[in-house]
């Protein structure tokens, strides 16, 4: 009986210690919504149309959902974020059995150069190339598949940008 109590107590301590590193709310030490951010439309330097608008919209939605920053639409923000879409690419993952040069599935990537500055001082708080990925199944039409994967790609890039913004210690 005594052995069962000791082992149960030991198990409880072990289980509760697993939660010791958990932190509720923003991990960068700020209060949720304490700082505001303004996101300028992304400049698209790739040959893929509509990427800038898709990434900008996805990032605004992610920032609002995350809640670490308060999204501001015009002026008066603590942080201003700008971005340039630098590279859009597809890498073949799997190929037809009958033709090893024809890809059926691709990994699509998008590289963005992101700069976040404090509005008052102009101090750069984040300057980094950030990449987003998605998988693309071609089917019968590569163009249509590309357009369908566009929102998934923009959302993954927005998620990665939001993570770097919210988890950075600045």
CATH code of residue 111: 3.30.160.150
Q: Give the model confidence (pLDDT) of 1-33 as tens digits.
A: 666 676 676 666 656 665 555 444 555 555 566
3-state class (DSSP) for residue 1: coil
pLDDT band at 75 (very low <50, low <70, confident <90, very high): confident
pTM: 0.79
Q: What is the C-alpha separation between 37 and 164, in angstroms, rounded?
A: 14
Q: Give the model confidence (pLDDT) of 85-141 as tens digits.
A: 999 999 988 888 888 778 888 899 999 999 999 998 999 999 999 999 999 888 778
Full residue range of the structural domain in which residue 78 is found: 31-167
In a domain, 69, yes or no: yes
Residue 75 phi, psi dihedral angles, 5° rounding: 60, 170
| Number of independent structural domains in the chain | 1
């Amino acid at each position: 009986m005594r052995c069962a109590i000791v082992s149960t107590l030991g198990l409880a301590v072990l289980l509760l210690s697993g939660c010791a590193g958990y932190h509720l709310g923003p991990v960068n030490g700020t209060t949720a919504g304490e700082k505001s951010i303004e996101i300028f439309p992304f400049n698209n330097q790739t040959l893929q149309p509509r990427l800038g608008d898709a990434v900008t919209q996805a990032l605004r939605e992610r920032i609002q959902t995350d809640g670490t920053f308060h999204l501001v639409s015009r002026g008066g923000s603590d942080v201003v974020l700008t971005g340039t879409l630098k590279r859009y690419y597809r890498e073949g993952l799997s190929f037809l059995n009958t033709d090893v040069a024809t890809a059926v599935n691709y990994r699509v990537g998008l590289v963005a150069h992101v700069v976040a500055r404090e509005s008052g001082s102009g101090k750069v708080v984040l300057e980094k190339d950030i990449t987003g990925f998605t998988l693309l199944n071609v089917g019968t039409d590569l163009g249509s598949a590309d357009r369908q994967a566009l929102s998934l790609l923009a959302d993954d890039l927005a998620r990665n940008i939001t993570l770097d913004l919210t988890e950075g210690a600045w």
